[in-house]
Homo-oligomer: A and B are copies of this chain.
């Protein structure tokens, strides 16, 4: 018997309670013991809720209860969530989290504390909802030198871009539709400005390359500047615009991490990832490319990842704990600008101007384009060189193109 507590009874927290109840028989069968919910911590009461009997308001009750072996933190943020996480760990409890912000900002510190106290700090649910990606990277790809991780990490922005591409509605209309469908929050900033994708990119980068990568080290551009004109130009050569988080390892071991809209060729499986789905592609020196795909958010998918981590913490309670990554530092991440990528540029200029400045460009078509506008795909070059060569052109859009 292992008793567990849930911190925060929101969407994910209530999903964890449901999965624990709904799938209790199969969990017991796989775990060879019960996983029994004892407390749910929340500031509110939930009269009439089937789990109301578990709800308490004082974290100290959980902290002091020696029966509670595992705590699921689904509060979010880096305030009280961090305090409770530390106190639970110091009280000898494993902590499972879906809190990407906390892992991205303080993952190394919290794993170090867990190691010191001989417990686990697990975070599979923090990236990709229920899609298995953290543990496969840690275990199944363990024999690989990982060279790049790239992913469609935010369902809200992917939904908006999919609607723009498929139905030709504007960013603003697609955002309103996403809000009406519950796919976007009232304040969509963290999603549409790329902050959510940035945090997940930090976690994947840290795991792949062994160093804490802080969100403020990762240049982040959202999708608010993607227009229907860009979507149409991209489509003329079978490209789709998607928001990618990427972490690339240089040959010298340096890490370049960034979040930005990319034009993705139809031949790349990431281009087929639509609506609220997420996908994470990992490149290893032995395995080549592998991709993990599924719903990147949602109550039960995310909750099922939390519960699987709870089971893992119980099964491996006696195993020595190691850090998944170490502290980084200001010099861990270098600018992605020197990666000689291909680029998409659009501007109020003739195509010959692009050709003169950039050489062998690939023209794109858009039947609805205003007179005098053109857009091209450029040869591979670093961004500073591109900007220098186009210093005299007024650009309306500049996005990366995924090369392979």
Contacts and interface: CB of A to CB of B under 8 A. Distances in A.
Interface of A: 15, 19, 22-23, 26-27, 30-32, 124, 130-132, 135-136, 139-145, 269, 272-273, 284-295, 298, 300-301, 303-305, 307-308, 310-312, 315-316, 318-319, 322
B140 A136 contact: yes
Contacts of A140: 124, 132, 135-136, 305, 308
A293 B316 CA distance: 28
Given A292-B290, A300-B286, A311 B132 contact: no
Contact of A289 (B15, B143, B294): B294
A311 B26 contact: no
* Most chain B beta-carbon contacts within 10 A, residue among A136, A140, A298: A140
A291 B290 contact: no
Given A140-B308, A292-B290, A319-B319, A23 B272 contact: no
A287 B272 contact: no
Contacts of A293: 269, 290-293
A88 to B, nearest CB: 20
Closest 5 CB pairs of A and B: A132-B140, A286-B304, A290-B294, A143-B307, A130-B287
A391 to B, nearest CB: 40
Contacts of A131: 287, 290
Contact of A301 (B26, B273, B288): B288
25 contacts: A19-B143, A23-B285, A26-B143, A124-B140, A131-B287, A132-B132, A135-B135, A139-B312, A142-B311, A143-B307, A143-B308, A143-B310, A269-B269, A269-B272, A272-B272, A287-B295, A287-B305, A288-B301, A290-B295, A291-B291, A291-B294, A293-B293, A315-B319, A318-B318, A319-B319
B272 A139 contact: no
Contact of A32 (B295, B316, B322): B322
A154 B106 CA distance: 42
A198 to B, nearest CB: 23
Given A136-B136, A272-B272, A322-B32, A144 B290 contact: no
A130 B286 CA distance: 8
Contacts of A139: 132, 135, 139, 308, 311-312
A288 B294 contact: yes
Given A285-B23, A290-B293, A136 B142 contact: no
Given A135-B139, A284-B304, A145 B292 contact: no
Contacts of A136: 132, 135-136, 140
Given A132-B136, A290-B293, A322-B32, A141 B304 contact: yes
Contacts of A284: 130, 304
Given A293-B269, A304-B284, A304-B286, A132 B141 contact: yes
A211 to B, nearest CB: 13
Nearest to A140: B132
Contacts of A294: 287-291
Contact of A145 (B23, B285, B288): B23
A26 B145 contact: yes
A300 B272 contact: no
Contacts of A289: 294-295
